[in-house]
Amino acid sequence: MSKQKNKIAGLQKRKAVSGYLFISPFIIGFLVFMVKPLFESFYMSFCEVNLAAGNVTKALNGITNYYFAFRVDPEYNRLLWEEMSRMMVYSLAIIVFSFFVALILNQKFKGRALVRAIFFLPVILSSGVIVGLESNNQLMDTLAQTIEQSTSGISVTAALESILRTAGVGVRAYEKVFEVIDNIYDVALASGIQIIIFLSGLQTISSSMYEAADIEGCTKWESLWKITFPMISSLFLVNWIYTVVDFCMRSDNSVIEKIQKVMIDQQQYGNASAMSWIYFLLVLAFVGITSFFISKRVYYYD
């Protein structure tokens, strides 16, 4: 009996060892290229870093760098605030948009594969450097301006906006919504993966549920909220995290641009580290808090 137990323990041990062997590249890489630089940059954010004569000298100077980032640097506060609010609005818009598109793409119609392929195209084409170039394309801006002029400045959103503005309620909220609608192109570009994830979730819901609801007299609208929504609610969490993370790593992110400018052009490593730590902690806190609230509402079927 005890021998057999030993044997099982031995097998488990062997499996544990081989498990560790399998993930050892990650552990090594994590320790060498993540933990060490992370601590170093954390340390550097409390230091005055000098790169004189090819030598790095670090002198502890307390929270001066943080003080610099918040109180001295003219841009950082504003950029940080703008970027965070942009992230909130756009992530929400991306989630809603991709859920909506996934709902449409889940229906059966001709050319579905083609449409799906087109929606996924941005994942490939607007990544990395291309995003940054796309966003400050002045030629497109001038084109848009000429179009606007030639149609004597009447666009649907502008007309709607002016109507809603006269109502005078919640102007700021409208403004955000219209900002998103005006930039629907950005939203569509950023939601390729989310659409596919939602689609795969929608396809796992068994049709018998909808049939049962239909027989019981449920309208489509009700079954959307009572069946579809809870069934793929866990994917909302996944997509939310993915969207936020994707958003804060985009290369046209102004905070990141600012950090890189401080680090590479001005060679102020200490300040750059402090700024990036502030940004990272804020994003982490944001992701943590929001996903905590979402995960409370997630419904697990099995």
Partner 1 sequence: MTNMENSAGYKKLTFWERNKLSGGYLLQKVITERAVSVIRFILLFGMCFLILQPIFNKISVSFMTEKDLYNPIVVSIPEHFTTGNYRLAAELMNYRQAVLNSIFVSLTIAALQIAVCTLVGYGFARFEFPLKKFWFAMVILVILIPPQTIASSLHLHFRYFDVLGLFKLITGDSINLRGSKLPYYLMSAGCMGLKNGLYIYMIRQYFRNIPGDLEEAAYVDGCGTLKTFIRIMLPQATPIITSCFLFSFVWQWTDGFYSRMFLGNTKLVSTALSRIVDSLGAYIQRINGVKTTISVAYSNCILATGTLMIIVPLIVLYLFAQRSFVESISSTGIKM
Nearer to partner 1, 29 or 170 (CB): 29
d(CA 196, CA 3): 51
Q: Output the six-digit token pair for 194.
A: 């989310």
- At residue 28, the 3 state secondary structure works out as helix
260 binds partner 1 (CB under 8 A): yes
- Out of 152, 166, 203, 219, the only residue in the binding site for partner 1 (CB under 8 A) is 203
Query: In this chain, which of 69, 80, 102, 189 binds partner 1, going by CB under 8 A?
Result: 189
The amino acid at 67: Y
Rg, C-alpha atoms of the chain: 25
Q: Of 66, 92, 116, 230, which lies in the binding site for partner 1, with binding defined by CB under 8 A? A: 116
Q: Which of residues 25-44 bind partner 1 (CB under 8 A)?
A: 25-30, 32-34, 36-38, 40-41, 44
> Pick from 236, 246, 234: which is nearest to 87 by CA?
246
Least Å from the CB of residue 77 to partner 1: 18
Note whether 237 binds partner 1 by CB under 8 A: yes
Instruction: Give the binding range for partner 1 (CB under 8 A) out of 9-17, 59-67, 78-86, 164-172.
Output: 9-17
| Phi/psi of residue 205, nearest 5 degrees | -75, 130
- C-beta of residue 95 within 8 angstroms of C-beta of residue 182: no
Task: Determine if 284 is a binding residue for partner 1 (CB under 8 A).
Answer: yes
66, 70, 174, 280: residue in contact with partner 1 (rule CB under 8 A): 280
**Dist. CA 302–CA 294, nearest whole Å:** 18
Q: Is 18 in the site for partner 1 (CB under 8 A)?
A: yes
Asked if residue 197 binds partner 1 (CB under 8 A), the reply is yes
Segment 69-88, which members bind partner 1 (CB under 8 A)? none
Q: Cα 160 to chain center, whole Å?
A: 29
Query: Closest by alpha carbon to 274, among 56, 30, 64?
Result: 64
93 binds partner 1 (CB under 8 A): no
Distances (CA, A) of 291 to 110, 168, 243, 288: 37, 33, 12, 5
Query: What DSSP state is assigned to residue 205?
Result: S
Q: What is the nearest approach in angstroms of partner 1 to the Cβ of residue 129?
A: 4
Task: Identify the residue among 73, 94, 235, 243 touching partner 1 (CB under 8 A).
Answer: 235
Residue 158 corresponds to which tokens in the numbers above? 């502008």
- Judged by CB under 8 A, does residue 118 bind partner 1? yes
The single residue among 129, 158, 171, 289 that binds partner 1, judged by CB under 8 A, is: 129
Q: Decide if residue 139 touches partner 1 (CB under 8 A).
A: yes
Task: Please identify, among the stretches 65-73, 75-83, 162-170, 190-198, the one whose residues bind partner 1 according to the rule CB under 8 A.
Answer: 190-198
**Structure token digits, residue 287:** 């992701």
